[in-house]
Structure 1
Amino acid sequence: MIKKILCLSVLTIAISCKTPKKSIKEVNPEEYASTITASELKDHLYTFASDDFQGRDTGKPGQKKAANYLKNNYIEMEIASPLGGANYFQHIPSSFFHNKYNDSENVVAYIEGSEFPDEVVVVSAHYDHVGIDAEGNVFNGADDDGSGTVAVLEIAEAFKEAQKDGYQPRRSILFLHVTGEEKGLLGSDYYTKNPIFPLKNTVTDLNTDMIGRIDPKHEDDPNYIYLIGSDKLSTDLHELSEEMNSKYTQFDLDYTYNDENDPNRFYYRSDHYNFAKHNIPVIFYFNGTHSDYHQITDTPDKIEYDLMARRAQLIFYTAWEVANRDERLVIDKVN
């Protein structure tokens, strides 16, 4: 009896001394952002942007191989598909492409929210590129958009590590890898016309297209990232984005291409725009163009991996805050 009482006393002390679990709003996300590393991004990209993937042309064998690479990584990370089971592909028939291209697929993975599961934060990138030319040269597309693609994988892993520690995001997160961007934003167009989750429940799209390089304008000071669209629909999102950068990453946030009069019209040229058309707040993260853009010289050896990791961390911090704040982002402007 005495032995039993002593055991119970020890157990009581152990329980009373255990540190209470923090709420997710008290968690410092830097611990999880630190899992987004230059070395892991490099390992992914040297595979994903290799000749083995044949330029990832929409509907071609290299794109199918790329889709399976993404699927297998999500399975390995134990991140579920919103489609159920081992089906990570949102099938897009050739008829949607007006029969100009073969059937293709968006790749999707998902972490369900703990408190607002019906509200969905989308983190997106296109994983297709332009394939092989008539001479057999492979367009590896390391920056465009291998960089965004592998960044989304690493961001997903960071959220998964938090989930393993008991910190499930309050809102759901959809990791969306779209096909057909190079053919005219076709994969994101298909998703927004055939959404897995209702567009009215989609809180934001944080879209990553080219974050691995330095453009000529910033060669002397590469501590930058272009942000496009952050203030177009939601002052709330813009201010939150600025706050996350000020608190954690301290980039020079360059809004040059956010100007309505920008002749490049980048706001209309990547997959976030198909969400913005439906009045869903967006941010497009971009490093600007360079001489290797859409050339066979866009190869993984030219990527600035440390810089790319910090840029991916900024996107993670922004997604973390959007997913875990008390209120859904307010839309105060409409198209």
Structure 2
Amino acid sequence: MKKIFIPLLAISLLLSCVTTQVNNEVNKEKQNPKEIGFLSAFKEIKLEDLKQNLTVIASDEMEGRDTGSRGQKKAGEYMIRFYKNLGISFPKSLGSYYQKVPASYMQQKGGSNLPDSENILAFIEGSEKPEEIIVISAHYDHVGTQNNVVYNGADDDGSGTVAVMQIAKAFQTAKKAGNGPKRSILFLHVTGEEHGLFGSEYYSDHPVFPLGNTVADLNIDMIGRDDPENRGKNYVYVIGSEMLSSQLKTIIEEANIKINNLELNYKYDDPNDPEKLYYRSDHYNFAKHNIPVAFFFDGIHEDYHEPTDDVEKIDFPLLQKRTQLIFATAWELANRKERIVVDKK
């Protein structure tokens, strides 16, 4: 397949424009230390890092990352090395980065013949309200190998996986500079999504942190491509952001204006939409427990669940912009004075 070639000059100009825009926001805040910390962390959402990690996560070596498979475990080991190298640990009560999801659990939920698998959890403790948790989630499994053909799942959900990793790096950069988040951040990579949202359901049934202390879940599932309806546009679908909280959608929209001003598309933001996307990714296992959620998504494109969902087709500048938006949203959720309200049913 033809690889996407991104001229270095174009990347430089893009980063320059975004940094200038964020710098202007910092100036408006009269050099508020927290805003300066945001800018420094924001710069860690780098296109080249997203590409480097996705090239590994969605390589043939990972064998399509089917739930509990050898290839998925290899991908998990790569992710854990990434977190270790950054100095980001795991929840203390868990004792490791792994939360085992037993085969017996998945089988009783309808996942016949699946082996044991694992969620992977990395954690940054908050400086002022450590008991309050912001979850940033993505599934790292895909559909494996079929008829000796590897389904690499670069967009589904390699793109979400590397976005979570890069957001973690940004928060860790801020923490090392003395501007860590006030609330704690859980970076949750779940398994078993393709077979039935099993990893996120297991977490919600066996939470490492009390669900009552979980402020919100920002779920990332496919943000590296565009769909036919939005070809060539700078957009992202946002689903569920005002289902439970009147504040979350506003926070996302304000963060978007501050950063890249993407087109926020709410086409699927309806539980009654025929595609039922509100129920089809891991955020739903938080929403059903009355935890505000936002699901970031690029749409259903021609390579969805096909062996052609490869790294060569990822729009990395757009992946970067969407990741920046989610980071900016998480930053506000983690650092605002009061946790967002749950005022809808």
TM-score > 0.5 by shorter chain: yes
Matches within 5 A, 1:6-25: 25=34
Is 2:121 the partner of 1:108?
Answer: yes
Q: Secondary structure at the match of 2:120?
A: strand
Structure 2 unaligned residues grouped into runs of 5+ = 1-30
Structure 1 letter corresponding to 2:236: I
Is the 2:240–2:270 contact (alpha carbons within 8 Å) kept by the matching residues of 1? no
Please, which of 149, 154, 159 is the counterpart of residue 166 of structure 2? 154
Partner of 2:136: 123
Q: Does structure 1 residue 228 correspond to structure 2 residue 236? A: no
Q: 1:78 to 1:28 in 2, by over 3 A?
A: closer
1:265 aligns to what? Answer: 276
Task: Find the aligned partners of 2:207 and 2:94 in 1 and give their Cα distance.
Answer: 18
Q: CA deviation at 1:31?
A: 2.5
Partner secondary structure for residue 256 of structure 1: coil
2:199 aligns to what?
187
Structure index of larger Rg? 1
2:42 maps to which of 19, 33, 37:
33
Do the aligned partners of 1:37 and 1:306 also contact (CA within 8 Å) in 2?
Answer: no
- The alignment yields a C-alpha RMSD, in angstroms, of 1.4
What is the match of residue 331 of structure 2? 320
TM-score by length of structure 1 reads: 0.90
The farther-off stretch of 98-107 and 183-192 is: 98-107
Deviation at residue 85 of structure 1 after TM alignment: 8.9
Name the counterpart of 1:296: 307
TM-score by length of 2: 0.88
2:120 maps to a residue whose letter is V
Q: SS of the counterpart of 1:320?
A: helix
Identity of aligned residues (%): 55
178 and 24 in structure 1: CA distance in 2 versus 1, 3 angstrom threshold: farther
Cα drift, residue 67 of structure 1 = 1.1
**2:226 maps to 1:217:** no
1:25-56 residue CA offsets vs partner (Å, 9 max, x unmatched): 44352331121111111111111100000000
Counterpart residue number, 1:53 = 62
Could you list the per-position Cα deviations for residues 115-135 of structure 1 after superposition, in whole angstroms to 9, with x for gaps in the alignment?
1000000000000000000x2
Deviations along 1:87-137, whole A, 9 cap, x unmatched?
11001111111262110000000000011000000000000000000x200
Q: C-alpha deviations, 1:47-77, integer Å up to 9, x for none? A: 1100000000001101111111111111011
- Show CA shifts across 1:203-260 (max 9, x none): 000000000001111114x110000000000011111111111111201100000023
Match of 1:97 in 2: 106
Structure 1 portions without partners, runs of 5+: 1-21
The list of structure 1 runs, each at least 4 consecutive aligned residues, that deviate by more than 6 angstroms after superposition, is none
Matched, 1:171 2:183: yes
